[in-house]
Amino acid sequence: SFVYSISLEVAALATSRMLSMIATLLCVFLDLGLGRPEQGRLLESRNSNTCQPASIINRKEYYGKCTCNGEKLNDGTDCLKTALGIDHELTGKQGKCRNGECILNNITRGCEDNPQLVPKGDTPPVGCAYYCGITERHYNYFPVGTKCQHIIQGGQRVNGTCQEEGDRVICKEQVNAPPAC
């Protein structure tokens, strides 16, 4: 009976300490403003360029859309837009904001002085196009037969190979041939 009484006191003391710690943490949490509704906090800067999270590519910020809180971002602001491009893949393409819309950059075929190959052992690229140039952007295609990844419905990636189609090279999904008879 004596041991039972001591164990009950120890349990009560442990519970009391735990509740005290929880109450202290709750007070700190609320004091920091972390428990307030989002409407009560200033979530956005007055600078419209900070409205949406930026992607950084080659140390340059790109925005996912060209509007913020109903206002248009400045014309010329760098943006990304998911679109089919010369690689025939639905991926993020670079552009500039114009009148609240992301207009894709115009790039021309080139890069003949700088042909690219995918290093052995590297993850295959999405699509078969690569880009070159700093001030003026150009593109070209990896050689036919290069391993690549193709994006199918739902954003899933499948393995493929670069194949010629008209005047371009696109990634086509590898289809295993049925067993021979």
Domain that holds residue 16: 1-40
Rounded Cα–Cα distance for residues 53 and 10 (Å): 51
Beta strands in the chain (DSSP E): 54-57, 60-63, 67-68, 71-72, 78-84, 90-98, 101-104, 108-109, 129-132, 138-141, 147-151, 157-165, 168-173
Residue at 181 is within a domain: no
166 and 112 part of one domain:
yes
pTM above 0.85, yes or no: no
Tokens encoding 169: 């090279």
Is 129 domain-assigned? yes
* Domain count for the chain: 3
Mean pLDDT in consecutive groups of 10 residues from the start of the chain, 181 residues: 45 46 36 30 36 77 90 94 88 92 92 83 91 84 94 89 94 73 61
| Element (DSSP H or E) covering residue 26 | helix 2-31
State whether 54 and 100 are in the same domain: yes
The amino acid at 106: N
pLDDT of residue 97: 96
